[in-house]
Amino acid sequence: MSQSFVLSHLRALEAESIHILRETASQFCNPVLLYSIGKDSSVLVHLARKAFYPGKFPFPLLHIDTTYEYPEMIEFRDRFTNEIGAELRVYTNQDAINAGANPYNLGTAKCCHLLRTSALVAGLREGNYDAAIGGGRRDEEKSRAKERVFSFRDRAGRWEPRNQRPELWNFYNGAVNPGESIRVFPLSNWTEIDVWRYIELENIPVVPLYFAKPREVIVRGQTLIPLQSNVKLLSGEQPEMICCRMRTLGCTPCSGAIRSEAGTTRSIIEEIISFRRSERENRLIDHDQEGSMELKKREGYF
Partner 1 sequence: MSIAAQPKTVTLDHFTASGDELPLLRISTAGSVDDGKSTLIGRLLFDTKAILEDHLDDVKNSKVNRASRGIDLSLLTDGLRAEREQGITIDVAYRYFSTARRKFIVADTPGHEQYTRNMATGASTSDLAVILIDARKRFLEQSKRHAFISWLLGVRTLVFAINKMDLVDFSRQIFAQIREQSNTLLSLLDGVQVHFIPVSALDGDNIVTKSSRTPWYDGPPLLEILEAAQPGVDVTALPLRFPVQTVIRPDSDFRGFAGQIASGRLRVGEEVTALPGGQKSRVARIVTFDGDLDEAFAPMSVNLVLADERDIARGDMIVTASKEASQAQTVEATVVWMNEEPLVAGRSYLIHQGPRVVSARVSRILHRWDVEKLETRDTSSLSLNEIGVLEIEASEPLLFDPYRENRATGGFIVVHRISNLTLGAGLIERKSLNVSGRGPLLPEERLQLRGHSGAWVDLSQAHELIDAVERALLTEHLHVVRTEQPELRRFGLIVLTLGYHQGTPDVVVDRSDLHSAIVAIRASTILGALHVFGEREGI
Q: Which residue, 142 or 155, has its beta carbon nearer to partner 1?
A: 142
For 74, residues 6+ apart whose C-beta sits below 8 A from its C-beta are 37, 65
Cβ contact 218:242 at 8 Å = no
- Residue 246 Cβ vs partner 1, minimum distance, rounded to whole Å: 17
Q: Which residue, 53 or 104, has its beta carbon nearer to partner 1?
A: 53
- Residue 275 Cβ vs partner 1, minimum distance, rounded to whole Å: 7
Cβ contact 185:159 at 8 Å = no
Query: In what order do the strands lie in the sheet containing 88-91?
Result: 88-91, 61-64, 31-34, 131-133, 181-184, 150-153
**Site residues, partner 1 (CB under 8 A):** 3-9, 11-12, 14-16, 18-19, 22-23, 25-26, 49-56, 138-139, 141-146, 161-162, 164-171, 173, 175-177, 188-189, 191, 275-278, 281, 290-291, 294-295
Q: Which residue, 74 or 295, has its beta carbon nearer to partner 1?
A: 295
- Residue 139 Cβ vs partner 1, minimum distance, rounded to whole Å: 5
Cβ contact 261:243 at 8 Å = yes
Evaluate the CA torsion angle 255, 301, 278, 63 in order and state its sign.
Answer: negative
Q: Rounded to 10 degrees, what is the CA torsion of 143, 146, 150, 156?
A: -40
- Residue 31 Cβ vs partner 1, minimum distance, rounded to whole Å: 12
- Residue 266 Cβ vs partner 1, minimum distance, rounded to whole Å: 18
- Residue 13 Cβ vs partner 1, minimum distance, rounded to whole Å: 9
Q: How far apart are CA 54 and CA 32, in angstroms?
A: 20
Q: Which residue, 19 or 220, has its beta carbon nearer to partner 1?
A: 19
Q: Which residue, 73 or 182, has its beta carbon nearer to partner 1?
A: 182
For 240, residues 6+ apart whose C-beta sits below 8 A from its C-beta are 216, 217, 218, 219
Q: Which residue, 125 or 165, has its beta carbon nearer to partner 1?
A: 165
- Omega prior to 226 cis, within 30 of 0: no
